[in-house]
Every structure is written in C-alpha cells, then in structure tokens.
Amino acid sequence: MAIWKRNGDIVNIINELASAFVKHKKNSQVIKTSIFMAVLLLGTVVFIMYENSIAELKFALHSFGSHQVEFSEIEPGMEKALRNNKKVKDIGISKFQKITIQGQKGIFVQEERKYWEEKPFTLVSGNYPTEEKEILVEKQYLNNHHLNLGDHLSIHQEDYKIVGVIDPGSYSFEKPYFYSILPSTKTKDVYEGESGINIRIWYKNIRETYQETNRFLSEFSIDPKIAEDTGRLSYNTVLLEHYFVFPGGLIPPKSVIDTWIETSIGFFLLILLFAYMIRNAFQVWNTRDINEIGLLKTSGMTREQIRSMVLRKIYFLSKWPILLGILMSYLLANGLIFIMWLNNKHSYQVFEKLEGQINNSYPLQLISPSIKPILIIFILSMLAITISALGPARKTAKLSPMEALKPYSNQKQKRGRKSLKGKIEINLGKDYLKTYRKTYWGIIVAMTIVIMSFSVLAIHQSWRTLNTKYNTFPSKYNISATIWTKDPLPIEFYQDINKTIKEKKHMYITASAKFYVNDNKGKLSNLFLHGYQNHSFNFDNPYVMVYGLEKDDFYRIGKEHNLELEDSDFLLLNQTPENTVSTPYSQRSYIPMFKEETSEVILRNHIKAPMEEIPIQGMIHTFPYDLEPISSREVSLFTTIESLEHWFEQRRIDEEDSFLYHIAIQTTRNKILEVTNSFKEILNKYIPSSDRTLTNELLQEGMEKEIKRNELFLGIGIQLIFLMIGISNAYSSFHGNLQGRKKEFALLKSVGMTSSQLKKMILYERRQIIVYVFILYILSLIGGILFQCWRKQFIFTPWEVFLHLNFFYLLPVIGGSVLGIWLSIKNGMKEILSENIMDTIREIS
C-alpha cells in the first residue's frame, strides 16, 4: 500500500495501468470507432463553420477594409480631434477629386500607402500602386479608350503610369474611378482644392467602436442616426459582429440572435450528443474492468486515483481516433465543398444552355489547413470525452473493494419483479430491461437523437415548402428584366418590344424615397396606427415606391375606378397587410393605411432633406396587374412612365442616379426559351450587358434545385455520420451488455433454459428497445415541430408542418436506424447462444 503514498511514482503507475487496460482489453475497437465517428462529425462541422466565418471576414476586409468606421465630409478640425483622441489607434485618409480626362468626367481617388497594403481590389491584371505616379484604372475605361498596362494618363498636369486594372462591375454610364497613392498627409496639402475627404478609423479597443464614434460625432453636433441614414457614416458591421461588437453593447441585434439560434445552439447540442454517445459506449466497456479495479482498491488505491486512472483510460483510447478523426474530417469537409462546387458548375452549364451564353461558376476554393480549427476540434473533443468519462469514473471510484470483486458489476441496479408470472423468458426480459435500464436508455436516446437529426432537416424543408407555397408572392409572369439607365429609354425600344413580343406584358419604371410616420401622422388611418403600435406588421425603415406605368395601363386603372386621370396624376394604393407576424402571404387580410380623405403623401430623400408633397388624385385597393406583392413597409404610388421620368429628373441628386425600368412577360412554359431569346436580342440592341438583368422561370427553378441539392449533399453527408455513430453506439452498448451477462446466461442454461427461450428473451428486449425508440422519436418530432412553429410565431400550424414532411426521406433513415439496432443485437445474440456453458464458466473464472 505504501506505493500509493509516494506521489512521485503515482502518476507513472496510473498511466501504466491505464495503458495496460487499453492494450490488453478486448473489444476496444468499437468504442474507438465511436470516438472516431464522433470526431469526424464534429470536425466536419467545425471546419465548414470556421471556413464560412473566415470567408465572411475576408469578404468584409476585402470590400470594406480592416478599419471599424468610415466617415465622409471630413473637415480639418474633425481630423485633428481624431488624431488627438488617445483611444484611436490610427486613421486613414481618402481624397476624392472630380476630374475630366480624355473628355470624360471621372473621380480621382488618392489613398495612403497603408491602404494598398490591404489589397482592397481584385485585380484583373497588373499590380497595386507602389509609387506616387502609378495608377489603377477600370477595365471598362481601358477598353473604351484603347489603353493598356504601361500606358500613361495625364491628371492635373501630372503624368501617371497605368500599373493595374480592376473591374468593379459598375454600370456603363457611371463615372470611371482612378486610384493612386496620396503623396502627402499634411493638412494643407490634403484639403487644398475642391475635394471630398473620407476618414477610416481604427480604435485601440474594437469593443469601444460605437461608444467612441458617438462621442466623436456629438462633439461636432452630428446625429449618428442621420449620418447613417444619409450615408455619411458607415460601420464595418461584418467585422464588428465577427468579434461580437454590437450597437447595443453585449446585446446583439435580432438578426444576429437568429443566426446564433440556427448555428451555435445546434453546435453545442452536437458536442453534448458527442459526449453522451461516447459515455454510453465507454460505460459498458469500462464495466468489464471492475474486478481488476477491486483488486487495486484492496492494495490501497484511493478513489481519486481510481477516477484518474479511468479518465486516463479513455484518453489513451482516444488519442489515435481523435487525430485520425481530425484528418478525415478535414478531407470530408473539403469533399463536401467540392461536391457543392460541382453542383454549382452543373447549374451554370444548365444556365448556359438556357441563356445561350457562357456563365462562369465561382472558382473552387477548398479549406486551407489552419491550426486554429484543428485546435478547436481537439479541445472540444477532449472536453466532450472528459464529460463522457466523468460519470463512469465517479461510479467506478465509489465502489467498495467487496462490491468491485463480486461476480457482477450491477449490484446496485434496480432489479425487476420478484414474482414471475406467464412465460419465463418474457418475465426475464422485463427483469433485464429494468436491471440494465441505463444501458438500454443510452441506446434508445442515442438512436432517437440520430433519427431526430434527420428530422431537423426534414422540418426545415417542410417549412420552406410551406413558405414557398403560402408565404411567397405568386407572380404570374415567368420572364422578367430589370434595366438601369442614365437617360430615359428611347421610343424605338418600346416599339421593338411591342412589335416582337406578342405575349401579355407590362413595362414600368420605379423610384423610391423615404417615408416618415411623423410627417404623415395625421393622414394615417386608425386601423393602421393600432397595428403599428401593436407591432402586428413590420414597418421598420418604411419607404415610398413610385411606379410609372405605360399610359394604357395607367388609364385602364382610372377607368376601372371611375377616375378622370391625366398623365401627371398620382394614385395611392391604400392597402397594407393587417398582420404579417403570424399570417402567411396567401391568407393575409388588408386594411387602409391612410384616411379616405387624404389628398397628399409626404416623402423625403432622407430625414434632413426637405419634405415633398405628392398630390393624390385617387385611391386603389389592389396592386395593378399583380406586378408586385403588397409590402407592409411600402407606400405605393402610381403614375405614368413619362410623369415619373420627369419627376425623377427634377429631384435627381447626382447626375449618375439611374432610371430603373422593369419588364414582366407572361407566356406559356413551352415558349419561355423562344420568348426569352427574342427579348434578349432587343436588349442587346439597346442596353449594355452591365446595365441589365434577365431571368425566367426555368433559371429560377435551376437555382432552387441547386440549393436543394446542396442541402441534400451536405445533409446526407453529415447525417450518415450520425447514423454510423448511433449504430456503433447501439452495437457496443448491447454487445457489451450481453458479454457482461455471460455467466447469467450460463447459469440459466445450466438450470434447463433452452437456447430458444434465451433467444425469445433477448428478442423481447430488442423489440422493446425499438418500441421505445419510436415513442421517444415521435415525442421529439412533435417537440421539434412545435419549437419551429414557436420560433416563427406560428405563421403555420404544427399540423401543416407535419403534413408537408418528406416522409420518403424520413422512412429510410428510421428503417436504417432500426435495422442497425436489429443487426447489432442479432450479432451479439448469435455469439452468446453459440458458446458452451463450461467454456463460459472457465473464461469468467
């Protein structure tokens, strides 16, 4: 006993004992497989989630930069205040100047050298500027003026060499941008001439971004909300949310909370599932060492040392499964990404056939090896394994030497009934179900979780099906185009469209403005104000959308409503959904937004802009020609195309503000390609490809199929791992249970119980386990449906979600799980029943 008191030797002895148990213990492969499969699943999810998180962060850094805040219309005093602010780590200056180059107006942007270190653009060719007289030029400008890399441009009588080409994807009518290095950051140099100055801000403590920015703005009497509303102030939201920095401090906005619910909670449940499954398999495996542990206790080994040894056993067991699981999860995650890339490539090949032009899918980007996700997987795996082993370790350590040395290890298990009635094999089966209830419930719960994991995807798909069917605006137009132009479309365009496209069609133009409740409060109906105060519908950031219709369409509306209209008149759609919180689109009822006597609607460009009164000549109560859905955030006005073009020209803020035209065509399905191609020929004649979009029902269906295939590939890949974990857990648990009852089976045989009776007893146990799995699964499925409905505020009933479940997807999964339990038990039963009584007794002895 003295050896257990010499602390210097204890750790080595415990390690040697744990290692010996693992090396010489039979049937450890099953638990190793369970650990490997659990790490494989956990690692795959971690790699994919980590890659998505990094991709979002890279996108934010690439498109916005590493700074937290950007502010425009800067004055020297503001810059000085920021430079003197001890909480500001650094600032970066951007200087914007209007120029005319080769007869074309443009914008010359000069950035500090450190800006170019972040490589803010994706280069088509060439390099970033490294010297003051080097410049980046847009690809479109180069093509229009027949320029190449290495050529020179003259700006402000200075000669600049073209060293790089970018393609910002801008419209053809927009001013080209030219980028170079800011030669001086001295105040007198930066602010000279007519130029706009933007400042990017890096704070020493990123968590103080919102507080310090508000403090800076208040110093110069600037309202943060107005600054954001007018576009003067912008936050690097993706970067800030990546580091859990929110406007409300520690309280994240609703959108972030929803994302966390979808990902984080499920992720931590996955870790708990990992721990639970490993615990069940390890409990059965560890139970077989009870007699040896009893001997160690008689030699003076303490509870703490026994617990430490049991924990070390699972660590020794887990070493290689964890390492192999991390490697295979990395390969599996990349495999899933590769499959989704192939799926996307296939979709674009289909689009090429439909559109008759080359479409490039996104490039294949596999997950790069990184130490951070590997450490996350390793730490979480060890955490889950430790949690899974703590229960068995405590239980083993509590056993007295006499209890541990008894023939069985289940002395403290609750036994079944003492008096047996009916068939003995059934009564014994019931007795064993109670005796080994913890082991069996481990199998039952594990398999239920496995099947339920499939149901989560099925519930999500059911909800999406309902959402598409009942909560989406059902447009009757199966071909549509959007066009951005600096100038109104020519009359020849309309003539060609009407001459070529004979199908039912509508052409219209839109322009938007801000809508403020306080500006129009006296005009709003009591029903609307009641719903607005009770949050029955979403009215956050409302807006006015003005629609310009073709004259024939506009006058047809007037005729239907007995209104005498002129070209410049405006009509108001006086309808808004009564409830959008718990009512799908197809079942909505509508209420008037304005009072019937309302004669004008007030709108603005932004909160500081002057109010503009739009006179109303009449009200309508349905959206004309079913062109658009009725949104609860929108105030819809209607006039003619010519009237809206004139109104837009009068309030145009920037000369590059574009007209936005829409064309909707309704045709039969078998003529979609023919009409699309004819329509495309007209667009090619008048509109550059950069200034338009064109889609049809077939392309939209193709994109939806791609999404569904991605979900299917990702879902099946992860769910198959779940299934293998569950089956291996069932195998190890039940097989280990039968092995632990060898002596009991031998004693039952010795008193005359036949193999047929033993088989019936075990089959009864198997049948009851499957029944319990079904019962628990049904309860968990009901719970999952109720939870989803509760999260979505019961916009659909639980019964509707249940009826739209894909049972053809669920049944094979349930069947596979039941078959796994069936075969696991059958294998163990066959091995037990085939053993000789004397051999079994000698083995136990």
Residue at token pair 């009864």: 764
CA 319 – CA 326 distance, rounded (Å): 11
The reported pLDDT for the residue numbered 341 is: 79
Among residues 302, 367, 463, the alpha carbon closest in space to that of 46 is found at 367
The reported pLDDT for the residue numbered 276 is: 67
Between helices 303-355 and 29-63, what is the axis angle to 10°? 50
Q: Sign (positive/negative) of CA torsion 791, 796, 799, 804?
A: negative
Identify residue 596 by its one-letter amino acid code: E
CA 149 – CA 145 distance, rounded (Å): 12
The reported pLDDT for the residue numbered 34 is: 74
> Percent helix, strand and coil across the chain, each rounded to 5?
60, 15, 25
CA 63 – CA 745 distance, rounded (Å): 70
Among residues 571, 513, 548, the alpha carbon closest in space to that of 662 is found at 548
Report percent pLDDT > 90 for the chain. Answer: 33
The reported pLDDT for the residue numbered 409 is: 43
Q: Sign (positive/negative) of CA torsion 636, 639, 642, 647?
A: negative
* Burial class for 106, CB neighbours closer than 10 Å (0-12, 13-18, 19+): buried
The reported pLDDT for the residue numbered 739 is: 64
Q: How many CB atoms lie within 10 A of CB 557?
A: 18
Give Cα 162 distance to the centre of its chain: 41
Instruction: Copy the structure tokens of residue 665.
Output: 């065509």
The reported pLDDT for the residue numbered 16 is: 62
Among residues 642, 671, 627, the alpha carbon closest in space to that of 502 is found at 671
Whether residue 815 contacts residue 720, with contact meaning beta carbons closer than 8 Å, is answered with: no
Residue at token pair 């009776």: 757
659-696 exposure pattern, b = at least 16 Cβ within 10 A, e = fewer: bbbbbbbbbeeeebbebbebbbebbeebbeeebbebbb
CA 9 – CA 6 distance, rounded (Å): 6
Residue at token pair 């920015």: 213
CA 427 – CA 430 distance, rounded (Å): 5
Residues facing 361 on adjacent strands: none
- What are the strands, taking DSSP E only, across 561-667? 571-573, 576-577, 590-591, 600-603, 612-615, 618-620, 634-640, 659-666
Q: In whole angstroms, how far apart are CA 32 and each of 37, 329, 386, 490, 755?
A: 9, 16, 15, 73, 32
Q: Is 311 left (phi over 0), alpha (psi -120 to 50) or beta?
A: alpha
Phi and psi of 93, rounded to 5°?
-110, 135
Mean pLDDT per block of 10 residues along the chain (845 residues) reads: 50 59 59 79 84 81 86 90 93 90 88 87 89 91 89 89 90 90 83 85 93 93 88 90 82 70 65 68 64 63 70 77 90 84 69 55 76 89 79 68 53 45 69 69 70 77 89 92 93 92 94 92 92 88 94 93 90 94 91 93 88 93 93 95 91 80 94 90 91 88 75 69 66 65 71 75 78 83 89 90 82 70 69 59 51
CA 14 – CA 7 distance, rounded (Å): 11
The reported pLDDT for the residue numbered 122 is: 83
Whether residue 149 contacts residue 132, with contact meaning beta carbons closer than 8 Å, is answered with: no
Q: Is 769 helix (H, G, I), strand (E, B) or coil?
A: helix
Instruction: Copy the structure tokens of residue 777.
Output: 């699964």
The reported pLDDT for the residue numbered 3 is: 46
The reported pLDDT for the residue numbered 415 is: 46
